[in-house]
Amino acid sequence: MILFISGQEIVVIILIVVLLFGTKRLPEIVKGLGKGVNEFKKATSDIKREFDHQTDSGIGKDVKKVKHQIQEASSEIKKNLDDSPLAKGVKDIKKNVDKLGKV
């Protein structure tokens, strides 16, 4: 059920509404509630659509651009580190330690 309301509770609510407003005004009230719910759904979908549009067009492109730049920079840094004399020295030391471990 809607909002965890049982059938008996719905009947009680309908009876209270009928007693307060009468049967003549009941269609007007239900029509007004329907319009209100419809407008709320429409506004919600408009906000969601605008948010999706903004994130796809502006922020999404910026994020992809920055991500690409970071990936390029990190691959360039890794290449430079692998080619550095320090990295070559570390590899030589590791080879020597491995040889000593086998002896």
pTM tops 0.85: no
**Residue type (1 letter), 89:** G
| Residues of the domain holding 76 | 2-102
Note down pLDDT in tens along the chain; length 103 residues: 456 778 888 889 888 888 888 888 888 888 998 999 999 999 999 999 888 877 766 677 778 888 999 999 988 888 877 777 877 787 888 888 888 877 6
Residue 35 CA to residue 44 CA, distance in Å, equals 14
Domain count for the chain, please give it. Answer: 1
